[in-house]
Amino acid sequence: MGRKIVIIGGVAGGASAAARLRRWNEEDEIIMFERGEHVSFANCGLPYYIGGTIHAREKLFLQTPQGIRERFNIDVRVLTEVIEIDREQKLIHFRDVMTGKKGAQPYDMVVLSPGARPMIPDIPGLNEATNLFTLRNIPDTDVIKAYVDEKHPRHATVIGGGFIGLEMAENLRERGLAVTIIDQGEQLLHPLDPEMARLVEQHMKLNGVEVHLKEGVAAFADQGTRLRLASGGMLRTDLVILAIGVVPENELAKQSGLKLGFRGAIQVNAQLQTSDPAIYAVGDAIQVKDRNHGFATMVSLAWGANRQGRLVADHMNGQAISYDGALGTSVIKTFALTAASTGNNEKTLLRLGVPYKAVHIHPASHAGYYPGASPISMKLLFNPETGMIYGAQAVGADGVDKRIDVIATAIRGHLGVRELADIELAYAPPYSSAKDPVNMAGYVASNIMDGLVHTMQWHEVDDFYCTGGVIIDVRDEVELQAGVIPGSIHIPLAELRGRMSEIPHDQEIAVSCQVGLRGYIAARMLTQYGYRVRNVDGGYKTYSVMAERNSDSDLPIGSEKDEEAKDGSGVPSRVGEEFVGPHTEPTLLDACGLQCPGPILKVYEAVKAMEEGQKLEVTATDFGFARDIEAWCLKTGNTLESLGVSHDKVKAVVRKTDQGRRFLK
């Protein structure tokens, strides 16, 4: 005789459990309760429907209640809320949300899949705001899209700089709105470390999104159209998206006497059973453990919910299963940039007091000579004694997801950093390089483990110099025009052997190049001549990202004034001073596929050959070029006429000035 299995909540976890249970056993009676109207929909696709990337609403539905009934013979009861679990009598009490009619359902086993709900802070005026929305489900999506379609707001404020916040910011910007992100933290995307998140922040600004960090909303006024900021300022807005995080839907579990844990999440064992063995729980509502270090956490991501739903069904049918924790592997698209991570970040390792080393590399997504190559900024964290991989992060326009997926697989398979260098990955020029970025990360980490090089992190550089340390920049002279580490001494790598008399033997030396490779060569050379040397990890490219964070030279940001100055891509232009002279078409320079400092070197050569007043239009696939060209123009005195993004590439127009002519002589 079959069992009565009740599933409370659909979408990823509940629907996966239901389908797997039926494939295991045709005799069980499976009843699914869903408080909403939809049991299986693509909640990760909701922002893209609002933004217009997904055109058809019906594509968001993975399965309909009728489809589940017909295919799996499951009793699906939508618009039905479970209000009580009587564990002694093994009864589920429910209520029809439309009619209020109540009923009871006996059970043998229960799967709780209630999910998580948006966090709503207690802010004065919030409840009176008529333009404020959260995004969790299809009804939320319909309301937001209708508001944008019918009210035609010009400005949106997104409160929260996490996954949902950034995806909504991008999609509202794609709809033509000016967008401001407000976040109380010091960075966007907290799974990333700050120097990696900073790349995303720069890219959001490059696409016209205004970003206010270390900022909050103190009060809502005028029904949400005016926001009083914690810093004292006032922001006018037409639309507010609240996306500051989620909290587990734990009311039913709490009322039923089930044990709760981290941040109120439902406690489960390795078999995903709650404190009542007859009740399982999956998805965003449960407490999981960190796969590397075992501490309690919450991971509100789709993969875990789907996997847990399947495992629960297996365990209910006698299989020996164990859910051993989460790495939190995640990826996000922000305009033309992708950011991804897996495992522990540096902030977590510092909090745990775990010994670790970090390496930063900036390889190309594929062979540079094949069109379309773009740089990837990668960070790898590992145990310097054992080589255990703790985590990795990557940001770039292409190839980011597959590199993080490979490293996530390596962590799951208990491979160390030395094995990363030994993984044989597919190669052809359109897809990778003969030494894949994953291999390169393994090589660099192995060099540290082998004692071939000691490194200095970006956040250690300034203190090192201020305490009397000597920093040698081994880049070529023209590269310095895009910026230098303050106080560094310039000795090009090619001249280093012949100028060692200039380097003190009695002090520790730091060497720096653009991305770390030439610095490593210089460090090896100096070490073998008896110097104590550290290489600045990731080179000037990593250092400069954070060194410029508090500068006043941020890229243009979205505001109401943006409507008056936009280029063809809808991105605000940065316009230099007016030049009075004959109109000439700009010279075109294609720097796509070149890695930093390649584009700047090409710009230097082209502008040097131009006449005063002539313009150069540069296109690059390296989004870091936006920062470089701004610094280069500031250094050389040439005018940056415009800077923006067009067709997922950086486009800059530079006009040669008399000051620039004299500088470049």
Q: What contacts 24+ positions apart, CB below 8 Å, involve 62-67?
A: 62/15, 63/15, 63/39, 64/39, 64/40, 65/34, 65/39
CA distance 136 to 116: 9
CA distance 166 to 624: 20
Q: What is the dihedral of CA 30, 59, 336, 131, to 10 degrees?
A: -90
Q: Which residues neighbour 419 within 8 Å (Cβ) at sequence distance 6 or greater?
A: 410, 442
Classify 224 in phi/psi space as left (phi over 0), alpha (psi -120 to 50) or beta: left
Q: Which residues neighbour 583 within 8 Å (Cβ) at sequence distance 6 or greater?
A: none
> What is the Cβ-side half-sphere exposure of residue 641, based on CA atoms within 13 angstroms?
17
CA distance 341 to 392: 6
Cβ-contact 536, 497 below 8 angstroms: no
CA distance 593 to 48: 29
**In angstroms, what CA-CA distances link 168 with 157, 195, 207, 215, 579?**
10, 23, 14, 19, 39
CA distance 50 to 619: 30
Cβ-contact 148, 130 below 8 angstroms: no
Neighbours of 4 (CB within 10 A): 16
User: Does 44 participate in catalysis according to the annotation?
Assistant: yes
Q: Which amino acid appears at position 171 of this protein? A: N
Name the strand (E) or helix (H) holding 24: helix 11-24
Q: What is the three-class DSSP state of 6?
A: strand
**In angstroms, what CA-CA distances link 476 with 139, 601, 631?**
58, 10, 17
Closest by Cα among 465, 432, 345 to 394: 345
| 620 token code pair | 């690059």
Closest by Cα among 330, 350, 356, 333 to 341: 330
Closest by Cα among 501, 631, 448 to 555: 631
Neighbours of 170 (CB within 10 A): 25
Q: What is the DSSP string of 175-219?
A: TT-EEEEEESSSSS-TTS-HHHHHHHHHHHHHTTEEEEES--EEE
**Per annotation, catalytic residue among 44, 513, 596, 633:** 44
Closest by Cα among 152, 129, 115, 102 to 8: 115
Q: Is the dihedral of CA 269, 271, 275, 280 positive or negative?
A: positive
Name the strand (E) or helix (H) holding 247: strand 246-248
Neighbours of 403 (CB within 10 A): 25
Helices and strands counted in the chain (H then E): 18, 36
What residues act catalytically?
44
